[in-house]
Amino acid sequence: MHIKDASFVISSPNVQGCPKPDKPEFAFIGRSNVGKSSLINALVNKKNLAKTSGTPGKTKLINHFKVDSDLGNWYLVDLPGYGFAKVSVNERKQWEKMIRTYILERENLANIFVLVDSRHEPQKIDLEFIAKLGEWKVPFSIIFTKSDKENQRTVSQHVQEFKQALKKQWAELPPVFVTSAEKGTGVDKVLSLIDEILSQ
């Protein structure tokens, strides 16, 4: 896929504030500080499209970006991270409700990419969120991030352990990608899957 341009559209506090659902939508979600913004920037080849931050829980809204590609226009959506963030329990519950409502009600949602930090062993919070997506019957894929921040043997081991953990619940595994936003590793493969979905 060739991406011609990508631009920020809107930040919405809820699903009602999102743009008209007239284009296919690909959402990105993961634990706080998983490297979501960096990966989004790498996918569209723009350094500062999504704002990166060292502070976990920085994304608090549903951020829509319009992508103009050779396969037409589509939305890339940056969702708030789940899990650790220095916010009140009440605020976290509001985020969780917003994410759940978005996932269940957004009719043009084509795929959710769940981002997992490849430097760590399987985390309960990631597995629980993926189990939820299964319950909701939502199409999703898994992207392991920050593969350049750890030696390849460890990354590979963590990916295999994660797949083994998933196999306890899933008969068939979703597409899995190993990426590095810094080096561009795996970015083309993620775009190929988007390409495939758009072409269906």
What pLDDT is stored for residue 91 in this prediction?
A: 74
CB contact at 8 A, 127 and 104 = no
What pLDDT is stored for residue 48 in this prediction?
A: 83
- Distance CA(66)–CA(7), nearest Å, equals 5
Helix (H, G, I), strand (E, B) or coil at 71: coil
Domain boundaries, the chain: 3-199
What pLDDT is stored for residue 95 in this prediction?
A: 76
Helix (H) or strand (E) holding 29: strand 25-30
Mean pLDDT in the chain?
90
- Confidence category of residue 136, pLDDT binned at 50, 70, 90: very high
Strand 25-30 and strand 72-78: the pairing is: parallel
What is the signed CA dihedral for 63, 107, 126, 149, rounded to 10 degrees? -50
| Mean pLDDT of all residues in 144-155 | 95
- Distance CA(176)–CA(187), nearest Å, equals 12
| Mean pLDDT of all residues in 118-133 | 94
- Distance CA(139)–CA(132), nearest Å, equals 12
- Confidence category of residue 17, pLDDT binned at 50, 70, 90: very high
Q: What token pair was written down for 24?
A: 């296919």
The structure's pTM equals: 0.93
Cβ-proximal residues to 34 (8 Å cutoff; 6+ apart), any chain: 81, 115, 116, 117, 145, 146
CB contact at 8 A, 119 and 147 = no
* Statement: residue 54 has pLDDT above 90: no
| Mean pLDDT of all residues in 156-182 | 95
Side-chain half-sphere of 186: how many Cα atoms within 13 Å? 18
What pLDDT is stored for residue 114 in this prediction?
A: 98
What pLDDT is stored for residue 43 in this prediction?
A: 95
CATH architecture of 3-199: 3-Layer(aba) Sandwich (3.40)
CB contact at 8 A, 144 and 179 = yes
- Distance CA(110)–CA(21), nearest Å, equals 11
What pLDDT is stored for residue 52 in this prediction?
A: 63
Place of tokens 């690909």: 26
Distance, CA of 138 to chain centre: 13
